[in-house]
Amino acid sequence: MANAYIAPQTLSAFLESYTPYLQAQIHELFGQQRLVEWAVFLVPVGAVVLLPMLPPERRRVCGAALVMLLLPLVLMPLQRVQVPARALLYLLPYFFLVAATCLDYLFTRFRLPKGWAALLSMVLVGAYGVYKIIRAHQVVVAMQQREQQLQRAYQWVRRRQPRHVYYRAPFHQLYFHHYAQSAHYPLYAFSNSTLYPKPFDLLVLERPVRSARLQLHGVAYCPVYADGWVTMYAPVVQLRPEAQPSRH
């Protein structure tokens, strides 16, 4: 579980962020809804309860898979390192193996006919597959909408023809740089205001921004563009008296 690129945290900082971290990994690996959180929690807990009741051969298989499933929950607090979701992908086969073993035991325990057991299993697997497809579609649509929003913002920026832009919005800095490089447009990006002592042509700040008017190096900036993601500011001297923020 070690990762040379992630430094161990202090124990207090690790424990404070551990629950939100686990929720984020569950969302990444299984889905985004709270129902999935409960399902992921109930499967290993139910397996621990049912483990003594399983036949010996299945107990060994389920026990080994359960150890592999719960091992990161022990190692991460010991190392005080929160690994990314991609490092936990190997847990998925063990999770579904534990779930299938416990479900099969419950079918046998309650003497569910094999036909009904097979049908119920297919319904559960199919429902989860449909859920994942819907979630994937929602993610793709959200990403497309965000990209369209970025493109609209960049087109608005190009019409103003700025040269020196200060960013406190990492996504916009990355995408605007890509768009500008693709069009061979000289757009100079700064994320450190001290590197350029003159007034910036534009400030791009992630929302929410608390002030309607900003001061940077003694220069006043007013909002000229706003959407659901960022607010952009220009120096007051560049604004016409009737200029109003554009909202998209």
Residue 225 in contact with residue 205, Cβ under 8 Å?
no
Q: How many CA atoms lie within 13 A of 144 on its CB side?
A: 6
What integer is the mean pLDDT of 63-67?
93
Q: How many CA atoms lie within 13 A of 20 on its CB side?
A: 5
- For residue range 163-175, list pLDDT tens digits in order: 999 999 988 999 9
The yes-or-no verdict on residue 243 having pLDDT over 70 is no
- Structure confidence at residue 242 (pLDDT): 41
Q: Provide the β-strand partners of residue 167.
A: 204
Question: Can you read off the two tokens belonging to residue 48?
Answer: 């621990």
pTM over 0.75: no
- Structure confidence at residue 248 (pLDDT): 64
Question: Can you read off the two tokens belonging to residue 126?
Answer: 């199919």
Residue 75 in contact with residue 39, Cβ under 8 Å?
no
String of DSSP letters for 88-124 = GTTHHHHHHHHHHHHHHHHHHHTT--HHHHHHHHHHH
The yes-or-no verdict on residue 14 having pLDDT over 50 is yes
What integer is the mean pLDDT of 57-62?
90
What integer is the mean pLDDT of 151-170?
92
